[in-house]
Amino acid sequence: MGLEPWVCVTPAVAAAVGYTVFVVRNAVDVVYWDYWVNVGVLHAFDDGRLTWSQLWKQAVNNRVVVPRLITFGVARWFALDVRVEIFAAIAFLATAVVLLMLTQRHNDGGPLYLYAPVAVFMFSVVQWQTALWNVQMPRFLIVALFALAMFAVCRSSGWASFAVAAGAAVIASLCLLDGFLLWPAVAFLICFDGRPQRGRRLGAWAAVAAVTAIVYFIGFDFTAGNPSGLGWVVTHPLDALRYFLVLLGGFTRATPMSTRFASACGIVLLAMAAWVVARFWRSDRRLADALPVALVTFVIVFDVWTMIGRGAAGAGQALASRYTTYNLLLFVAAYLALVNRAAWRVANRRKTQIVFAVGGVGAALTVLLAIVSVTTARREGDRFAAHLRASARVLQHYRTEPPTQLDAYLCPMFCRDLVLVEAPFLEAHRYSVFAEAGTR
């Protein structure tokens, strides 16, 4: 075995192991903030009075049918130990990495180890908030379902594979609103699939997407949880652009009061994304060329609609760690485009210069990502875990804790009443922090 497999695989394994150790060490079993809404639905489920309207009910700006079903299972079999969802998120992330590797090996024909560095980007601690807060678990499930959908449409042009991809997209749509990102991204892959019945499959994909959207948005409150909107973007274009760039560069973990570095890194990542698209346009536009662009599509659409919905909160809010999970896919896209073995219509001399330039910038960003992961992000994650441990103690003593403690550690004032109503339910059923040691 030569040196190349070791160079590709060793950092990937190190990233996966380091990330897993970080999560296992810091995972805390506590019902925290947004998750209290699911406790109310679980209460109805346990009492046998759950209705479809309760399961379907919008949570802020999402319909979270699948996460609620997962909550029912975790409560039934694991006494609502939310660490089960946190650890499941690791499995979802690992599944996404493996599927992306297998898909691109099928598309491009390279050795499997060549695609192992995908794990270096996806197992990054910069996403500590998504990793340690169980209510964010659906993001990892969506990434896994996205990878599954791409794997299915790339492996076969048959209708069985189409059904798998469409099913994955529907399930993702019922996880979070973010799940709708799969529809345009996978449609792009189908569009550039040169195999038979491409037109029919693309039409069927659009039809399933339309039906899903119609059912999903009946009675939907588009103003819930969104402090801004398209009108804000139109009237504040420079602020919107700044928010978008900070969102892209949020992996730098800059402080909310100093977002210039994040903006600069956002510009560089946007340029990398533009190169991925340009490289595709100058290629034969096969599936191996299209897959990185599908990843870029997923990320850019997410960042644009996050900007539309949350931009008015200020550029500092764009640095929230939970937004980095999807944006890390830009690193994956750039890497897969860089190692793509297919020809592209550029003079050889110029091609070498471009590869060295893009590779150099990508390597610099990767080093920055690694440094931030083991320094700033790890410290932030440790602090968040300490906060969650304090939250668990407050929940255990919710009857005697003052309202200020409930607001600070369990759920802000707007949902304090929900805590006071549902905490006795958790205690009576010995769920979460109230579970006896011998019941697990």
Q: Does residue 438 carry a pLDDT above 70?
A: no
Residue range 199-223: average pLDDT? 94
- 3-state helix/strand/coil string of 247-258: HHCHHHCCCCCC
pLDDT at 216: 96
Q: What is the pTM of this model?
A: 0.95
Helix axes 376-396, 348-374, angle to 10 degrees: 40
pLDDT at 299: 97
439 — pLDDT class (breaks 50, 70, 90): very low
Residue range 163-181: average pLDDT? 97
Q: What is the pLDDT of residues 189-205, one digit of tens each?
A: 999 998 888 999 999 99
**Which residues are paired to 63 by β-bridges?**
58
Q: Does residue 75 carry a pLDDT above 90?
A: yes
pLDDT at 143: 98
Q: Does residue 400 carry a pLDDT above 50?
A: yes
Q: How far is CA 127 from the centre of its chain?
A: 9
pLDDT at 222: 81
Structure tokens at 382: 């440790």
Phi, psi of 28 (to 5 degrees): -125, 135
pLDDT at 229: 83
Q: Does residue 177 carry a pLDDT above 80?
A: yes
162 — pLDDT class (breaks 50, 70, 90): very high
pLDDT at 45: 96
Mean pLDDT of the chain, nearest integer: 93
pLDDT at 257: 65
Higher local confidence (pLDDT), 221 or 170:
170
What is the C-alpha separation between 212 and 214, in angstroms, rounded?
A: 6
Q: What is the pLDDT of residues 244-291, one digit of tens each?
A: 999 999 999 876 667 899 999 999 999 999 999 999 999 989 999 999
Q: What is the pLDDT of residues 81-137, one digit of tens each?
A: 999 999 999 999 999 999 999 999 999 999 999 999 999 999 999 999 999 999 999
CB 130, CB 322: distance < 8 Å = yes
Q: What would the DSSP string read from start to end of 275-328?
A: HHHHHHHTB---HHHHHHHHHHHHHHHHHHHHHHHHGGG-GGGGG-GGGHHHHT
Higher local confidence (pLDDT), 57 or 224:
57
pLDDT at 345: 80
